[in-house]
Chain A
Amino acid sequence: MKGSIYKVLGLLLVAYSLIYGLLTKVPDLPLLAESIRNLFYHVSMWFAMVAMMAASFWNAIRFLGTEDLGKDRRSISLAEMGMFFSFMGLFTGMVWAKFTWGAWWTNDPKLNGTAITILIYLAYFVLRNSMDDARKKARISAVYNIFAFVMMIVFIGILPRMTDSLHPGNGGNPGFNSYDLDNGLRMVFYPAVIGWILVGTWIASLRYRLKALQE
């Protein structure tokens, strides 16, 4: 019973953000108009993705310290979940970009960062599938996971701040946090982030148990 509290909480928060996100009053901004509601669905995907990848990274470090294969299963399950969130974030972002910037894809540092992140983690899955011995697979892919996560943070967290971007908060554009993101938006956005992270953890834990049974 105790273990299911976070699952129920996650589901409630996601349901709240999905439903209330469509009902709540949003600021009427030029260009963005009602599409600003996508903030709840698009941006929360990235927060959830980074949380999943960070947890995967942490489990990879712990695997190298303990040599416990359970940590490795956690690491791969969380990375798969993060991959799912990154695809969802990409699709919701593409729809948003089409309606606000006029194109499905633009040469924007954040979009490049996303593309690279997806390539990095696809390479991680390819690497895992190219080995048979469980212990060796776990060790080598943990090494790659740690290196890849650091590179991803550099690419999506540091480099975009040094170049211009269409996204808010970069390269002289007004940021959401300075004056765009009002408290009404926050009331839905933060619960959405927490809800998706909890649901992601839940699904990752299911995959973890499935992998443990398969082996």
Chain B
Amino acid sequence: MQKTMRLLVRFFRQEVRNSNVLFSLGLYLLGVSYLIYLLSGSTPSDSAWNTLLWVVVFFGSVQLSSRSFEFESGPYFYYFQTIANAKHTIIAKILFNVAYMMLLSMATWALFSVFFGNPVYNTALFFIGLMLGATGFSVVLTLTSGIAHRTKGNATLGAILAIPLLFPVLQLTSAINLQAIVGVTLTDAANLLGTLVALDMGIGLLAYLLFPYLWQD
């Protein structure tokens, strides 16, 4: 646990030192949101609002994760092997990405509220849906970007691998968020929420078990 925390701190430091990445992600969000604003012209309907939000978060996360193992590949891979084992690495990486993607989705929500208004009725449910979705995203994307980096192949491979795998999470989350917009109560959405929690935990466990096989040479 302590080792995982130390790795996590290290990842965050790396990120702060390399702040142009965070900046470019923010710029992407701002640019895309404004592009949608310019093109749509008027306030989109609730379901279109939700769809657009998820499309923006989706591509933001894929872009974000594509450089998830940037510092640990190439010659640094062997160095990294000596300072941390695979299980600590995957837990720290997933936690780091979870935090990052929660930030990303919250920022998108805030931007959308500025440009298109905030149609969400049940804010708590929407927030929980967003957080659970960000968790699922980061688990899938961490594993697939790990795979893509181990192949040392092209940069698009990570996206190709991740996109179909993200659909179950995406579909569940967007269903929850649509219910939150309509104003369904937490207890009524418990079924969907429970499924998403179970899915997140299942794929998290799977990623944890599989990653050591990936993280060796």
Contacts and interface: CB of A to CB of B under 8 A. Distances in A.
Nearest to B167: A116
Given A147-B143, A154-B199, A131 B153 contact: yes
A58 interface: no
Contact of B213 (A112, A130, A142, A150): A142
A113 B211 CA distance: 26
A146 to B, nearest CB: 6
- Tell me which of B153, B157, B167, B211 has the highest count of chain A C-beta atoms within 10 A of its own C-beta: B167
Contacts of B140: 151
Given A130-B154, A150-B203, A151-B203, A139 B165 contact: no
A32 interface: no
Contact of B161 (A116, A123, A136, A159): A123
Contacts of A144: 144, 147, 161
A108 B133 CA distance: 22
Contacts of B164: 116, 119-120, 123, 151
Contacts of A131: 151, 153
A131 B161 CA distance: 14
A140 B144 CA distance: 10
B186 interface: no
A148 interface: yes
B165 A151 contact: yes
B150 to A, nearest CB: 6
B168 A159 contact: yes
Contact of A162 (B143, B195, B210, B216): B195
A189 B206 CA distance: 35
Nearest to B210: A143
A103 B61 CA distance: 35
A116 B169 CA distance: 13
B166 to A, nearest CB: 9
A137 B140 CA distance: 20
Interface string A127-165: 100110000100110111011101100110011001100
A126 interface: yes
A130 B202 contact: no
Contacts of A119: 163-164
Contact of B168 (A126, A140, A155): A155
Contacts of A143: 143, 147, 210-211, 213-214
A131 B153 CA distance: 8
Majority SS at the chain B contact face: helix
- Chain B interface category by residue count: 20 to 34
A154 B151 CA distance: 27
Majority SS at the chain A contact face: helix
Contacts of B195: 158, 162
A159 B171 contact: yes
A126 B157 CA distance: 8
B95 interface: no
Contacts of A123: 160-161, 163-164
A150 B202 CA distance: 9
Contacts of B163: 119, 123
A64 interface: yes
Contact of A130 (B153, B207, B210, B217): B153
A139 B216 CA distance: 10
A140 B214 contact: yes
Contacts of A151: 140, 164-165, 168, 203
A120 B217 CA distance: 25
Contacts of B210: 143, 146-147
Interface of A: 64, 112, 116, 119-120, 123, 126-127, 130-131, 136, 139-140, 142-144, 146-148, 150-151, 154-155, 158-159, 162-163
Interface of B: 140, 143-144, 147, 150-151, 153-154, 157, 160-161, 163-165, 167-168, 171-172, 175, 191-192, 195, 199, 202-203, 206-207, 210-211, 213-214, 216-217
Report, nearest first, the 9 A-B pairs whose CB atoms are least far apart: A119-B164, A130-B153, A120-B164, A143-B210, A155-B168, A151-B165, A154-B168, A123-B160, A123-B161
